[in-house]
Chains A and B, each alone.
Chain A
Amino acid sequence: MEPDPAAPMLEMRGITKRFPGVVANDGVDLSVLPGQVHTLLGENGAGKSTLMKILYGLYQPDEGSIELRGEPVTITSPSDAIERGIGMIHQHFMLVPTLTVAENVALGLGGRHGLSDMNPVKERLADVSDRYGLRVDPDAYIWQLAVGERQRAEILKALYRDASLLVLDEPTAVLTPPEVDELFATLRQLTDDGRGLVFISHKLHEVMELSDEITVLRHGKVSGRTRPSEASRESLAEMMVGRAVELTRTVDQQTAGAPQLRVSELDVIGDRGNLAVKSLDLEVCSGEIVGVAGVSGNGQRELAEAMFGLRPIERGHVQIGDERTSAPTPRQVRSMGLAYVPEERMRDGAVADFTVAENLMLVDYNTPTYSAGGFLKRQRIADRCRELVGNYRVKTPDIDTPTRNLSGGNIQKVVIAREFSSDATAFVVAQPTRGVDIGAAEYIHERLLEQRANGAAILLISEDLDEVMQLSDRIIVLLEGEVMGELTRDEFDVNTIGLLMSGVTSASPA
């Protein structure tokens, strides 16, 4: 590669892409220089993915032009993009779990006489691995690999194809903080080689740390261009959302009350028959938020589902207030005072085809207030739903709109409105702001703290470490279904938690 630092390697001009009823990209310009990290920042639905799919040949733009190294190009397919030196690191890894690392790398490359001989692939792969310190066993099957290793395989796939322009879509979402540091070191090495990187993220501190240039998208348009030296996290957030956003919330100290939610010696079996939660104890007092941190897949989902009766408990029990159960059912734990905001809101939290009103009434519809003799009291339900939609600022045309037509943030507000308006005394809240825009996330955080102030006991399960650290009074770190450590507010520290998440306890030498 002969990088000319001044000439952009990628120039996208005036890209417009329309889908029925929505303009996903509206005259977007993006210019990437060799040796630079160019961040694409924006909320969900701002148009980042569409723009990158256009670059990768998965979509064709309706308007606009693309130039690669000064030459106008039409990218017709992913293989076309690959040939032109574009590599994509997808957020949801595009790896075939039942193939080996080498086979994944070789996929689509063809082979001598149509044979898939892995030996030359492994040799070249070893060279690339060594050069960038991306260690991964070429003969290992993808399903055997940890998340960080899978990401290295994904990056190797692009580098093996000699990609000079790499797009990384939310690459840090699944990584522990130490893994993020390692990834950033690799990325720096790539730019030192003269490659250009497009980095997609919504984690502002990462953006500030890694970027050379930043382009912010909002509603399909470029809402700002800047660089870290000229920006702050607040200014970036404002460009993303379109108004000032309070990023660092000061949480009042509050004295916790009596234990309200308790889990003792809990064993839960996971989907693959493994022990996903192992002999777990935890306690949440009233007026307290306990955060559960950990890389996804370490028992968080199984813990929440077991507590709420959606997954059988192997051993141990759940206690809410004075009542305990070792074989909970959802109706039973609700009557005991537990409410649940599930991680998969469209699967477990709301029925997509139901109207907003129906989803709001899913829990209470059969109480005497809203039904009699098997018939629903329509008027009273409508009044109640309008009140909730107003109070929780759900943006919906009306309460009879099918829930699937709402944005992610508003669907989450429907779920939160239903759960928080119950008279529950304890809450399990999982990934409350995942995929939710900053404005809605801010609002949901307020509501969580309001419940805390009202004396609720809240177990907050989140992969967003910033969120957990910001809201929690205490944090427990889960690794492979076990509590690796517990920290109180004055002990919170990204590095400590990150190390615990990756299995390094404070007792071990750092």
Chain B
Amino acid sequence: MWSDFFTVSVFVATLASGIRLATPFLLAALGEAVGQRSGVLNLGVEGVMLIGAFAAYFTKLKTESTVLAVLVALGVGAVMGLIYAFVTVIMQAAQGISGIGIYLFGLGFTDLLFQKQVGTPQPIPKLAKVEIPLLSDIPWIGEIFFQHNLLVYLAFLLVPVAWFMINKTTFGLNIRAVGETPEAADTLGVSVNLTRTFTIVIGNTMAGLAGAALALEVGIFQQNLTAGQGFIAIALVYFGAWRPVGVMSGALLFGIVSATVLTLKTLGIVEGAASSLLAMAPAILTIVVLVVVSRRIAAPAALTRPFDRAAS
């Protein structure tokens, strides 16, 4: 039985599956990481993912345009970002509880819209796989990395983009400063609130995109489609120590372990109670690494702390 698992084709299929599973996590977690680097915790990722997922699903259902579906998901994500920025940056509300509010809103709102506008689950065509010329022909590697839909490629391309933005641009310098010591940034003329508003909008837009990636990958929407993925994405930000590459490692680890568990079950290698236990493996592994990592690297010092010039 185990010998079945150690065949090239199973291995390759499992890794490719892991990459697909990792994609929504990666998109949401990258966005959340950017927000957290600027000192804003957004527990509403799950809710925004749901809204993005519904927006993409509904647009695709009605217009059959994938491009439009993705654009609408990005748009509603950005709008949710503006709302969250207004609440936490302008109104200086406590971030934890506001984020939970956004989550509940997203959960309830998408379900209501779905019931009123769609009714019963109606499938939409899944997003087509795009095989990258030449690269997809490489044995094994091609199937693992280069036979996915465009949003999968986009998610992974955004990793170096996010890294570059955070580490090599003046905007990134502002983000890091604002997340660590907003008072210092303020005295040098960096607008703390504007910087945070931007990062929140970026983060929520990416959460919307993550939702779209999910809905277009599974080709359907239903109540609570995300099933906790947004919260796992937040955990992955800590897991990745607020660094894009770390976040990507976390998302990939989570995705690949999940896919491996599925493969082991498909092949009948594990069954019954062992299979139930194994289903917890991704979560347990994440927690273990989280504990190890969080002992090593500190969170942005100003995380969850609203900035108020008068109080400093």
Contacts and interface: CB of A to CB of B under 8 A. Distances in A.
Contacts of B170: 106, 109-111, 114-116
Nearest to B184: A94
A88 B188 CA distance: 10
Interface string A106-123: 111111001110000000
Interface string B163-205: 0000011111110110011011111111000000000000000
Contacts of B183: 94
B169 A114 contact: yes
B309 interface: yes
Contact of A116 (B168, B185, B301): B168
A320 interface: no
A95 interface: yes
Interface in B291-312: 301, 309
Contacts of A93: 184
Consensus secondary structure, chain B interface: helix
A77 B183 CA distance: 13
A51 to B, nearest CB: 16
Nearest to B172: A116
Contacts of B185: 96, 107-108
Nearest to A90: B187
Contacts of A96: 176-177, 180-181, 184-185
Interface in A407-461: none
Interface string A73-108: 000011110100000101001111111000110111
Interface residues of A, number: 28
B173 to A, nearest CB: 5
Consensus secondary structure, chain A interface: loop
A82 B189 contact: yes
B180 A108 contact: no
Contacts of A109: 170, 188
A80 B191 CA distance: 12
A109 to B, nearest CB: 8
Interface string B58-73: 0000000000000000
Contacts of A157: 188
Q: Which of B171, B177, B185, B186 has the most CB of A within 10 A?
A: B177
A90 B170 CA distance: 23
Given A95-B181, A106-B173, A108-B174, A115 B168 contact: yes
A470 B190 CA distance: 45
A108 B169 contact: no
Q: Which of B169, B176, B181, B185 has the most CB of A within 10 A?
A: B181
A56 interface: yes
Given A58-B309, A99-B180, A116-B168, A94 B188 contact: yes
Contacts of B169: 111, 114-116
Contacts, number: 74
B273 to A, nearest CB: 41
Contact of B189 (A77, A99, A104): A77
A103 to B, nearest CB: 6
Contacts of B187: 56, 58, 78, 88, 90, 94
A98 B185 CA distance: 13
Contacts of A108: 174, 185, 188-190
A106 B309 CA distance: 21
Contacts of B190: 107-108
A116 B171 CA distance: 8
Contact of A107 (B168, B184, B301, B309): B184
A70 B168 CA distance: 41
A108 B309 CA distance: 17
A82 B186 CA distance: 12
A115 B174 CA distance: 12
Contacts of B188: 78-79, 82, 94, 107-109, 157
Contacts of B176: 96, 98-99, 103
Interface in B37-61: none
Interface string A16-59: 00000000000000000000000000000000000000001010
B198 to A, nearest CB: 13
B189 A79 contact: yes
B177 A97 contact: no
A111 to B, nearest CB: 5
Interface in A312-326: none
Contacts of B177: 96, 99, 104, 107
Nearest to A110: B170
Q: Which of A58, A95, A116 has the most CB of B within 10 A?
A: A116
A90 B188 CA distance: 12
A188 B149 CA distance: 66
Contacts of B181: 94-97
A88 B312 CA distance: 15
A93 B176 CA distance: 17
Contact of B180 (A77, A88, A97, A111): A97
Contacts of A82: 188-189
A292 to B, nearest CB: 29
Contact of A98 (B172, B174, B180): B180
Contacts of B174: 107-108
B295 to A, nearest CB: 10
Contacts of B172: 116
Contacts of B186: 78
B173 A116 contact: yes
Contacts of A111: 169-170
A106 B184 CA distance: 12
Given A107-B173, A108-B174, A115-B168, A78 B189 contact: yes
A239 B200 CA distance: 51
Nearest to A98: B180
Q: Which of B174, B180, B183, B188 has the most CB of A within 10 A?
A: B188
Contacts of B168: 115-116
Interface in B198-244: none
Contacts of B184: 93-96, 104, 107
26 contacts: A58-B187, A58-B309, A82-B189, A94-B181, A94-B188, A95-B181, A95-B184, A96-B177, A96-B181, A96-B185, A97-B180, A98-B180, A99-B180, A103-B173, A103-B176, A104-B177, A106-B173, A107-B173, A107-B177, A107-B185, A107-B188, A108-B185, A108-B188, A109-B170, A114-B170, A116-B172
Interface of A: 56, 58, 77-80, 82, 88, 90, 93-99, 103-104, 106-111, 114-116, 157
Interface of B: 168-174, 176-177, 180-181, 183-190, 301, 309
In order of increasing CB-CB distance, the 6 nearest A-B pairs are A79-B189, A108-B188, A94-B184, A96-B181, A108-B190, A111-B170
Given A104-B184, A107-B184, 14 more contacts: A56-B187, A58-B309, A78-B186, A79-B189, A82-B189, A94-B181, A96-B176, A96-B181, A108-B188, A108-B190, A109-B188, A111-B169, A114-B171, A116-B169
